[in-house]
Amino acid sequence: MNCCNQKPIIELSAGEKLCKSHFTEYFESKVFKTIRQFDLIEKEEHLGIALSGGKDSLTLLHLLNKLSKQNPKIRLTAIAINEGIHDYRDKTLITAKEFCEKNNIPLHIYSFEDEFGMSLDDALKILDVKPCTICGIFRRYLLNKKSKELGFTKLATGHNLDDEAQSILMNQFKNNIQASARLGPKVGIKHAQAASGTGSIGNKNFVQRIKPLYLCTEKEVTVYAYINGLLDNFNECPNVSKSYRAQIRDMLNNFENDNPGTKYAIINSFLQALPDLKGRFKDGEINSCSNCGEPSSKDKCNACKFADKLEKAKVTVKS
């Protein structure tokens, strides 16, 4: 892209420097191109947007809102999960609510407290488990379950290129290639019943997930969110430093600093291998949990297993 003589606000990993208006144009056209390239959104949809109130999901909702205004058959509903993380999620949810109110987007909020009987903060006091493990399992469970109840045709998430590169490496480092078969810009198949809104939806299917920010780096999303006034403060989960992902993130950022383009290379090579991976593991995760009916590769899903552990721990604490 040719930039003008305005002051540059960002240097891209290819070394290009862009001013505010040219960066905005570059970023938005990249997201809309990603949507077309991977066929993420059809002409008629009821899209759920997983909204945390952070920079990624606000940017995603802001851009999909633009798209929906030009295409009224694309309906948007935001869905947020309140894990119960003191001094963090309460703040980001205020931003999320304000954004949705200002833009007339319906927002549904579900909490760990209501759905599993305990906030994440309290669960971590009685269970010996890594915060992100239980948080991720409960959050993914609720997003899938509630997306089906709300009749979403797809669930859009704010995952960016950095998130995806981290996930690819994490799976590689943990010898969990099967998990990588569930990555990519579009995951799962669109559920016909969800599209027609006919109620009961087969539990064997995940609600299809799409990632329109797939080719945008974390740095690009951050700059876009700030220059477009989507958020004015930075909040980070207090548990993030304890996560395996944070170790991979820091390592990858250092590596990218010394070798610009590394993250793009990880994504591009992964996209070439993805069709083979999906073919190889296409029969995985076809069962339903015997307890709740949600998708599970085992008899009981991980969310139900953790919910059971919580119940037992609560009884032990009381007695």
Tell me which residues touch Zn ion (CB under 5 A): 3-4, 6, 19, 22, 289, 291-292, 301, 304
For ligand SF4, the binding residues in 136-175 under the rule CB under 6 A are 136
Q: Which does 231 bind (CB under 5 to 8 A by kind): ligand SF4, Zn ion, none?
A: none
- The DSSP line for 167-192 is HHHHHHHTT-HHHHTT-SSEES---H
Q: Does 243 bind ligand SF4 (CB under 6 A)?
A: yes
Q: Does 100 bind ligand SF4 (CB under 6 A)?
A: no
Q: Kindly state the smallest distance separating residue 49's Cβ from ligand SF4, in Å.
A: 17
DSSP annotation of 206 reads P
**Pick 95 or 239: Cβ nearer ligand SF4:** 239
CA dist 137 and 117 (Å) reads 15
Report, in Å, the least distance between residue 218 CB and ligand SF4: 14
Burial 190-221 (b: 16+ CB within 10 A, else e): ebeebbeeeeebebebbbbbbbbbbbbbbbbb
Least Å distance, CB 300 to Zn ion, is 6
* Binding track over 33-72 against ligand SF4, x by CB under 6 A: ----------------------------------------
* Paired tokens of 107: 């927002």
- Shortest distance, CB of residue 237 to ligand SF4, whole angstroms? 3
Q: Report yes or no: 49 and 77 within 8 Å, Cβ to Cβ.
A: yes
Q: CB within 8 A of 229, min separation 6: which ones?
A: none
Q: Which does 237 bind (CB under 5 to 8 A by kind): ligand SF4, Zn ion, none?
A: ligand SF4
> Please, what is the minimum distance in Å from the beta carbon of residue 132 to ligand SF4?
3
Contact call for residue 131 and ligand SF4 (CB under 6 A): yes
Among 107, 42, 41, residue whose Cα is nearest residue 77: 107
The secondary element (H helix, E strand) that includes residue 18 is strand 17-19
Q: Which residue has the tokens 């207090």?
A: 238
Q: Which is nearer to Zn ion, 1 or 192 (CB)?
A: 1
Rounded to a whole number of angstroms, the distance between the first and last alpha carbons of the chain is 67
Least distance to ligand SF4, CB of residue 243, Å? 6
Bridge-based pairing state of the strands 74-82 and 107-111: parallel
Report whether 169 contacts 248 (CB < 8 A).
yes
Q: Which does 22 bind (CB under 5 to 8 A by kind): ligand SF4, Zn ion, none?
A: Zn ion
What number of chain residues touch ligand SF4 (CB under 6 A)? 9
- Cβ-based burial of 2 (10 A; exposed 0-12, middle 13-18, buried ≥19): exposed
Among 40, 51, 79, 132, binds ligand SF4 (CB under 6 A): 132
Window of 68-76, 90-98, 127-135, 198-206 that interacts with ligand SF4 by CB under 6 A: 127-135
Can you give the binding site for ligand SF4, defined by CB under 6 A? Answer: 83, 131-132, 135-136, 237, 239-240, 243
